[in-house]
Chains A and B, each alone.
Chain A
């Protein structure tokens, strides 16, 4: 397919889901030279180099925004690169990702922010850097937050680590208010989590695996809610996994705090009983927790406490996962299953509306990051995903585009297959 064929696309008869306007309707979409030129029924477009997509029976939504992704670039290019990660994203219908700073070197300097943005120009989807809160993510020295914000960071995070020095966390929060960017917080009390591997509960005891108590998340969430209240920082709790966490966030928001949060598809999907197989792809941080916690997360989505769904895409080499449970690295990939896993669990099973789900992976994360994304707008550059929600398929290792294959969903049957993705006005993925 040549460039013109990629930039001139006619998507026919799809069911448009527009979460910004809260509307669903059947329409054609005509993308001309990368711009969403027309959106109405029965568009007659002609051109020698025009790609037609038959979207009958499919949904057409804004390209997804995954606000928590690890692209491992620079430093761990064997696991993933910005290029491969972007290709993995568009296969999942994602057109914007926010990548985390725990690379090597970490994204804690202006030059690293610029590196990411520069690579993003040539990647299949838009990649936006989240910069580190502390140098080297060591939790002791604050980064040049002003310079990083000016260079183009969309937020700050020490994800993977947690700042245990409360005074420092407070000063980070206060300083962040000067720049208006959100702090994406990985909440873990390292003293509580210690060398834990799975959720502390009856399963961890039964399996003989050291546990990570839900206290680990909750203690820090409580602390950060208090600190945010005083400092008036904009905080976002990422990968919420506990009932306690959901309750505290709900209460804090009712109290007027500017707090948002996201959950991962795997935390919505699994509970700790699944760990009985010792499947290392289910070894994640925060751990897959109890059914009680999982149900609380579902309720959180239904009740509007949960603002977004983000994959926490964490690529690892086979060598890092094919080992004893204790030695295996934490993490699962998730870009390619972001929609299908969330859709299968939330819409098909829990009967949450499609419009609601789409908003959790488009307009809502876009708003949290303060970026212009997740919309279907005539006259703007097109970012679209076309998905067949009636297609079901078994997730297979060989099908993954990501360099790493450590998916928690291997072997699961998921609904919702991405037919094609248009990112930055170009058709970057089409399912053969």
Chain B
């Protein structure tokens, strides 16, 4: 069992909890490979997917995970409901609680909202991404992916490439990677770094890490977002931070490329790399991350509700 009922952020996960989740994920991976992808473990439990921010991948991943465990899962997206009419978050939560649900999976665009909700309810809460703050289940599935590929964490060199400052994935991943003994370097231009980054290993160009890293973790880059307005252009991004074939070829044997998805083709990764086949394609584990994501989320739901 997990030491805490809720999963709010990556840095408060204990080493034991992390190991428990990862070891259980193996069993759930096996279930996903069967013909009948269902076990009755969480039959009769009700889970709410409370997504205030749109998401297809994470929401679907939790949905599949819950259903494979025979739990009932309801998708509640306040975009298309009374929240638009001005119902406050707390009222929404109260409504949900009165329906006697067993667990809330929540994603919100404001950092810290998940903690606020957790303080308000007495059922478990799982953070599916709050603003720029944390995305702990993503970090866990990323760890699991690394475990399946390398069998260990200690001493592995990971480079997190992209907008570090505004990325909840980057934050959660850095927490967990370092906790498990990995050596993390952030590759980011100054506008995407905190003012004082003296406590982190930082580089500004992907070429500085590409030949040395075991894991190149590419973050999403969306130029339309307001907080990205200081970055000059896509061309500048391609030149200093983008993953193209030339850089892929220089990566060391056994190294992998990860991405939380969906990939903005032509921005952080070129079409050529995304469509490549053969030996080099084995380096790109993006699809595996999604598969493992269901298994890890099944393990999490099981360990919290089981």
Q: A146, A171, A177, A178: which contacts B230 (Cβ < 8 A)?
A: A171
A143 to B229, CA, bound (A): 12
B235 at the interface (CB under 8 A from A): yes
Is the Cβ of B191 less than 8 Å from the Cβ of A144? no
Residues in B lying within 8 Å of A, measured CB to CB: 189-191, 195, 204, 229-233, 235-236, 239-240
* CA distance in complex: A175, B233 (Å): 13
List residues of chain A with CB within 8 A of the CB of B191: 142, 171, 174-175
Please determine whether B204 and A144 come into contact, CB atoms closer than 8 angstroms.
no
- Can you pick out 16 interface pairs between chain A and chain B where the beta carbons lie within 8 Å of each other? A142-B230, A142-B231, A144-B235, A145-B232, A145-B236, A146-B239, A146-B240, A147-B239, A150-B239, A171-B191, A174-B190, A174-B191, A175-B190, A175-B191, A175-B230, A178-B190
Using Cβ atoms and an 8 Å threshold, which residues of chain B touch A178?
189-190, 204
Q: Are A147 and B235 in contact (CB under 8 A)?
A: yes
Bound Cα distance from A146 to B232, whole angstroms: 9
User: What residues of A have a CB within 8 angstroms of the CB of B195 in the complex?
Assistant: 230
| Interface SS of A by simple majority | helix
**One of B190, B232, B235, B240 near A177 (C-beta < 8 A):** B190
Given contacts A178-B204, A230-B195, contact A143 B190 (CB under 8 A): no
Contact call A147/B189, Cβ cutoff below 8 A: no
Which A130-164 residues have C-beta < 8 A from chain B? 141-147, 150
Q: How far is the CA of A366 from the CA of B230 in the complex (A)?
A: 31
* Distance of A413 from chain B, by nearest CB (Å): 49
**Dominant SS among interface residues on chain B:** loop
Check: A354 CB closer than 8 A to any chain B CB. Answer: no
> Is residue A168 contacting chain B, with contact meaning CB distance below 8 A?
yes
Query: What residues of chain B lie closer than 8 Å to A142, measured between beta carbons?
Result: 191, 230-232
In the bound complex, CA of A332 to CA of B189 (Å): 39
Q: Are A144 and B233 within 8 A (Cβ)?
A: yes
C-alpha gap A25/B231 in the complex (Å): 52
CB of B305 to closest CB in A, whole Å:
46
Residues of A within 8 A of B190 (CB): 171, 174-175, 177-178, 231
Is A144 a contact of B189 with CB atoms below 8 Å? no
Bound form: Cα–Cα A93–B25 in Å? 76
Besides A142-B230, A174-B190, 18 other CB < 8 A contacts?
A: A141-B232, A142-B231, A142-B232, A143-B232, A144-B232, A146-B236, A146-B239, A146-B240, A147-B236, A150-B239, A171-B191, A171-B230, A174-B191, A175-B191, A178-B189, A178-B190, A178-B204, A230-B195
Shortest CB-to-CB span from B80 to chain A, Å, is 36
Residues of B within 8 A of A147 (CB): 235-236, 239
A residues 170-213 in Cβ contact with B at 8 Å:
171, 174-175, 177-178
CB distance from B166 to the nearest CB of A (A): 14
Q: How far is the CB of B204 from chain A (nearest CB, A)?
A: 5
Contacts of A141 in B (CB 8 A): 229, 232
The 7 closest A-B pairs by CB, nearest first: A174-B190, A144-B236, A171-B230, A144-B232, A178-B204, A142-B232, A175-B190
Most-contacted residue by chain A among B195, B204, B232 (CB, 10 A): B232
Measured CA separation A142–B235 after assembly (Å)? 13
CA distance A231 to B230 in the complex (A): 15
Set of chain A residues within 8 Å of B233, measured between Cβ atoms: 144
The docked-state distance in angstroms from the alpha carbon of A147 to that of B191 is 16
Assembled-state Cα–Cα distance A147/B231 (Å): 13
In the bound assembly, the distance between CA atoms of A230 and B197 in angstroms comes to 12
Which chain B residues border A143 with CB–CB below 8 Å? 232
For the complex, give the distance between the alpha carbons of A42 and B204 in Å.
55
Q: Give A178 to B205 CA distance when docked, in angstroms.
A: 9
Contacts of A144 in B (CB 8 A): 232-233, 235-236
Task: Give Cα distance in the complex from A146 to B236, angstroms.
Answer: 7
Which chain A residue shows the least CB distance to B193?
Answer: A174
A contact residues around B236 at 8 Å (CB): 144-147
Give CA–CA (A298, B235) in the complex, Å: 46
A354–B233 CA distance with the chains assembled, in angstroms:
47
Shortest Cβ distance from residue A86 to the other chain B in the assembled complex, whole angstroms: 31
Closest to A150 in B: B239
Chain A residue with Cβ nearest B231? A142
Complex-state Cα separation, A231 to B231, whole angstroms: 17
A141 to B223, CA, bound (A): 13
Chain A residues whose C-beta falls within 8 Å of the C-beta of B231 in the assembled complex: 142
Q: How far is the CA of A145 from the CA of B231 in the complex (A)?
A: 10
The residues of B that contact A177 with a CB separation of less than 8 Å are: 190
CA distance A143 to B233 in the complex (A): 8
B232 → chain A closest CB, angstroms? 5
Of all chain B residues, the one with the shortest Cβ separation from A231 is: B190
The CA of A330 and the CA of B173, in the complex, are separated in Å by 55
CA distance A230 to B204 in the complex (A): 18
**Is B189 a contact of A168 with CB atoms below 8 Å?**
no
A427-B236 Cα distance, complex, nearest whole Å: 41
Q: Which of A64-116 contact B (CB under 8 A)?
A: none
**Do the beta carbons of B230 and A168 come within 8 Å of each other?**
yes
Q: For residue A140, give the distance in angstroms from its CB to the closest CB of chain B.
A: 9
Closest to B196 in A: A230
Q: Which of A147, A168, A231 has the most CB of B within 10 A?
A: A147
| Complex Cα–Cα for A231 and B195 (A) | 8
